[in-house]
Amino acid sequence: MTLKEYATLVIKNNKMQDSITAQEDESGQVYFAYFKNVSGKDFYYFAVVKKGTDAFWLCQFACEKKNQQKFETKFKDWGKTIQVS
């Protein structure tokens, strides 16, 4: 299974397929992003998918929606530094 296929399964399993899709950036990083209201606050989530030798890993970053522009690029950059084995 590819990273994008796994990300799509996670999205489908969480019933979010109507609003988001898995993306792949120019470096090959697979991710998806979404918004969710938690305890009356709106949050922005950025999820990166990684593949180890025997498992997939889903690493998520989050911030308040109002801070999305401030952190979105940082989340993408930080996601690229994650290594799994």
Tokens of 15: 């019933």
Q: Which residues contact 68 (CB under 8 A, 6 or more apart)?
A: 44
Q: What single DSSP character describes residue 8?
A: H
Tokens of 43: 């949050």
Cα distances from 52 to residues 23, 58, 75, 82, 84, in angstroms, run 19, 11, 20, 11, 5
| pLDDT value at 17 more than 90 | no
Q: What is the pLDDT of residues 38-77, one digit of tens each?
A: 999 999 999 999 999 999 999 999 999 999 999 999 999 9
Q: What is the pLDDT of residue 18?
A: 82
| pLDDT value at 19 more than 90 | no
Calculate what percentage of the chain has a pLDDT beyond 70.
100
Q: What is the pLDDT of residue 3?
A: 95
